[in-house]
Each structure stands twice: as structure tokens, then as C-alpha cells.
Structure 1
Amino acid sequence: MNIFTYSLGAMKTNCYLLSDGENSLIIDPGDEADFLLEQLIRKRLRLKAIIATHGHFDHIMAAYEIQASIDTPFYIFKEDMFLVKRVNETAKYFLGYDPQALSPKNIRYLKKGKLTIQNFEFNIFQSPGHTPGSGCLYFKKENAIFTGDTLFKKGIGRFDFSYSNKNDLDHSLKNILSLPEKTLVYPGHGESTIIKDEKNKVF
């Protein structure tokens, strides 16, 4: 599996394009839908799904635009649908202008456990704390986990929102950090890291 990382939008959110050479997944398309569609064309990839690690606007704002060009499902935990539904309202507040963002369609709810989409096989971890419906995608074979805004290099997700929960976040982090130490961590912002390097920095 090839992993392409793009830092997109005003919030510099990491969007990940996963490819098996023919089919692809997009994780956290926060902005710049035209750019992402261009990458799919250039790489001659068929998009099979969009997956959000959580519902914040800077992780989902390009999803609808992509779906307008490609009929593909959007996966997210149900607990974050309240954020998905107010994507434009939240984006306007944080960006200072009206991006006229539309909420994704063709929504499918993530559930804990194994998920297979085409040749992509991975485990879904529910990792609440930053948001109630935060989740991680763990590719055991590839030794990689996509953590959204739960775990960063030298940092953890915010827990000062009205709907955040520090105790839940601590529990989620303990689960993630129990993975093999050489597991690659692909966060929602900033550089990638490995579990070993983050263990002593978080707790």
C-alpha cells in the first residue's frame, strides 16, 4: 500500500491518499477538493471511500465536493454527526469567511472492528476525547495507524471543546500507545512519528 500525505487548507490538515495501485481511499479531506481529484486522475486511481477520523470541518470540508464528482461513500462515527451537520457554520467561525461548505452525503457509520474496502483491510478504533466520535484506522499488515487529532508527534488532541472529554482522551491514548512500538503514526496535523517515540511524552 502506498501512502500519500498532503497538508491542505488554512489549518494545514493532513489528508492521506491510500493506494493499492488501482483503488484508493481518502482519509480526512479537509480542503482543496480540486487538488485531490487531480491526484486521483494523475495516479489513475479509483476512489472507493472517504473516511473521516472525526467531524471537524478541517477534516471533512472537501468531502462533498469530491462526492459531487465521484459517487463514493463517506465513513464516520455516528457520534460526530452533530459536527458534520454544522460543517459550514464551524468553518465560518474558525476561518473568518464563509466557505459555503456542504455536508457530505452517502454517509455510512463506522463501527469498532475490522473493515474491508476492496483490497484495504484495517481495524477501526473508537478513540473519543477530542470529539465524541473520534476514531483511528489501524493497518496491522502495513504497521500504520491514522490517528486524526487524537495523537500527534509530541502532542495530543485538544480537549477544551464543550463536547471534549479528557478522561476519554486519556483512555484512547493508552489504547493507541499499547500498539507495537514500531507502529507508524500518521496524525491529523504535523509530521508522522512512531509509537515508541510518543509513549514517554504523553504520560
Structure 2
Amino acid sequence: MMIYTLNVRGVFPVNCYALINEQSQHGFLVDPGAQGEDILAVIHEKHWQIEKILLTHGHFDHTGAVNFLRQNLDIPILIHENGKDYLQNTTLNLSACCGEHILVDDASFVHDGDYIQLADGSLALKVLHTPGHTPDSVIYYNADGHYALVGDTIFKGAVGSTEYPGGNKTDLAHSLKKIFALPADTILYSGHSRPALLAQEQQRNQRSMSIN
């Protein structure tokens, strides 16, 4: 299984990820925030068969290319159940304050503890609800591959902001504890930074935030 990083930019730069089984070329797309035409061109060029689009949360910089890609690929969109209001409210998803109007319809909802699998069973991701940055924030964790797609909950050298609508510092602290309970060699793939080793981020946050 390969993880490809597609660096895209709308109002902000964001990491869109493609998780691809290199034998079957089937996979998932995570957080396509912008440049839908460019993402689609890469998908066609590499002959990927994307089965689902997974969203770590409903902020517009992670959802901006969803409608375009769904129309062209005819695939489902998955987000945590708390994300419905974010997909349907331009104030909550922050697109209105940035001069955009991004809404997403007809998403399917996931819950804490769910598993999302490719059709052939070659990849399974566990959904872990990690509110704090937003109430709908989740990570997608793969135990066999020792990695997690963490959205904006944690970055290399930083943690997610709680200043936007729905943000909550107490929730974020609990979510970080949940992440830090994963194996120390887990690689964290975030929305806006380079990959990070969980053990290093745990040590940094224990020093700076006294999270034990």
C-alpha cells in the first residue's frame, strides 16, 4: 500500500492523500481540498480506481474539490456524523469568511470505531473520533501500516487550532490522548505539515501541554 501526497492549493495549501493498493490500483482519496481538475488528471494518469473520498473534517480547505471529483468519479463521500452542519453551512466551514461558497450534499456518515475497507479487503482504516479542532474531526488509522491520516488535529510540531466555530481545547486534549495511545512508531499524515512520528509529537506535547 502506498500513500501519495498531492499538494493542492485553494485559499490555503493542503495535503490531499491517495492511499493506493499498487497491485490493484484501487484506493481512497483523503481531503481533496482544491484543484479538482489537477487531482483528477493524476488519477487518470496513474490509472487509479478511487473507491471513496474520506474527509477528516468539514472545513472548506479540505472539501473544496469534493463536488467536482464526485461528479466525475461517481463515488461516495464519507465524513463523521457531526460534519453534516459543516458541509451545509458556509460560516461553519469557513468558506464564507474567505470569499468562497462551498457546500457538499449527500455525504455518508461514519462513527467512532467504524472500519472503512476497500472492496477487495486489502486496506482497512479505523475511524477514531478526535474532536477539538472541530466537533466532526476524525483520524483514519491503519494498524498494519503504522500510519494515521490526522487532518488538522495534530501537525508536525503543532496541534490543531481551537479558535474556529466548534473548536474546544478540552476536547482537543482528550483527542490527543487518544492519538498518543497508538503505537509510538505510527506516522501521522496531517492536512498542513510534513509527516510526523507519533513518539516525537507525544514528547513535545507532554512538555508543552502537560498531557499525560
State whether TM-score is above 0.5: yes
Corresponding residue for residue 45 of structure 1: 48
Structure 2 CA distance for aligned equivalents of residues 8 and 128 of structure 1: 25
Unaligned runs of 5+ in 2: 207-212
Counterpart code for 2:198: I
Q: Which runs of 4+ in 1 moved over 4 A?
A: none
1:93 to 2:94 alignment: no
Structure 2 CA distance for aligned equivalents of residues 178 and 73 of structure 1: 30
Corresponding residue for residue 21 of structure 2: 20
Contact persistence 1:86–1:103 (CA under 8 A): no
Structure 1 CA distance for aligned equivalents of residues 166 and 103 of structure 2: 22
Corresponding residue for residue 34 of structure 1: 37
**SS state at 2:94 partner:** helix
Unaligned runs of 5+ in 1: none
Structure 1 counterpart of 2:190, from 181, 187, 191: 187
Deviates more, 1:151-160 or 1:77-86: 77-86
Structure 1 CA distance for aligned equivalents of residues 143 and 90 of structure 2: 32
> What do you get for the CA RMSD once the two structures are aligned?
1.5
Contact persistence 2:117–2:125 (CA under 8 A): yes
Structure 2 CA distance for aligned equivalents of residues 33 and 133 of structure 1: 23
Q: How far off is 1:199 after superposition?
A: 0.8
Structure 1 CA distance for aligned equivalents of residues 90 and 76 of structure 2: 17
Contact persistence 2:16–2:29 (CA under 8 A): yes
- Structure-2 change in CA distance of 1:164 and 1:61 (3 Å): same
TM-score, normalization by structure 1: 0.93
Counting aligned pairs with the same residue, the percent is 28
Q: How far off is 1:102 after superposition?
A: 4.1
Contact persistence 2:134–2:165 (CA under 8 A): no
TM-score, normalization by structure 2: 0.89
- Structure-2 change in CA distance of 1:87 and 1:24 (3 Å): farther
